[in-house]
Amino acid sequence: MALSRNPRCAFCNSSNEGHLSRCAACSVVHYCNRDRQAAHRDAHKRVCNVIKKALQALDKEEEDLRAHPGDWMTPPNLFEESVGHFWGIHETRPYMRSRYAVVEAYLAIDTYAAVEAARSNLADMLRLCRGDNMGVRDLVPAILLRLGRDQECYDFCKWYATTGSEGDYDWGDMDLGFLDVKDADVFEPLVEGFLSKHGDLSFTVALTLLNIRLLLDLQALQNSSAIGHKVPQEILDRVRNQLVTTVVHNNAKIMNSADQTPLIKEIEKQVQALYTKAQQQNKHFWPVLLKPEADLGARPNSYSPRSPQRMEKVWNYSYNSWKETPGAIEMIRKLQKSNAS
């Protein structure tokens, strides 16, 4: 089930007509009232404490960095004067590690607020360290998909596949554009960088899911056209608007088209191309996506691109985005069968 922007009580799943209160410690879980929060305390306590401790550790690291007077290795006023260069400055590394620990703590909770908090922290980590020595960019596409921000996901991936892949791009030059692709055409032919031999599995998997979402939306619109003559246009338009995600909904040409067949065929080709690319990048990923193993909770620190360990890391980043997209995993299952025959 997809994440909902509208919070619900973690104990009874009620929206309580919008009258919910946040957990004061983690701020990403909601409750109808104190009684429901008390009843849910045993289930929530562990992850809540992890978030609380991670935030306290981060506050301490930030306090220490801001108090640093500067020396021959560390400039003063790091948060004002060294944006973009963190990690390259050794003293910033404990802070960046603590920031990542906060991200992981938030991602242990499946609420919109928690996933958004993780995204916000990752965005700031990339702002502080453009070169991304920690590789946190790998988490971002799947998180954006979980939040229903498909356009931003595509823009993010396209920037890294174009400008971010240029050999002469100077990551240390703060005057250069960074992650500045906005509102790119999600329906355009696949960018060459998406299928490059240097492409990353986490991006390919996210782009596959993004295209599957487009395909599912287009198929839903096509199916709705079959009932068009049976219901008033006003009702049909309302139904069609509820069938699709924001990217499709915002495309007037697609929404007003009575026949999605040509575009469906093009997106099917793109899904196939991305599926094949991911299979080439790591043959372990698709089989495990279809049949997850019980021990896939680990976070391996070292791996080669085609290894089971790399598959495991990307699976941990991305599985929830697939699980929360109805029909997506089944589409991969059909692709696997058709490619095997």
> For 15-64, what is each residue's pLDDT tens digit?
988 899 999 999 999 999 999 999 999 999 999 999 999 999 999 999 99
Residue type, 339: N
Whether 2 shows a pLDDT value over 90: the answer reads no
Whether 6 shows a pLDDT value over 60: the answer reads yes
Q: What tokens appear for 227 in the block?
A: 């009932």
Gap between the Cα atoms of 230 and 282, Å rounded: 48
Gap between the Cα atoms of 194 and 278, Å rounded: 10
pLDDT of residue 340: 84
pLDDT of residue 298: 62
> How deeply is 18 buried, as exposed, middle or buried, from its count of CB atoms within 10 A (0-12, 13-18, 19+)?
exposed
Whether 341 shows a pLDDT value over 80: the answer reads no
Mean pLDDT calculated for residue range 101-127: 97
Whether 143 shows a pLDDT value over 80: the answer reads yes
8-state DSSP, 191: P
Residue whose C-alpha is closest to residue 306's, from 289, 284, 286: 284
List, for residues 255-312, the tens digit of each pLDDT value.
Answer: 888 899 999 999 999 999 999 999 999 999 999 999 886 556 666 677 788 898 999 9
pLDDT of residue 205: 98
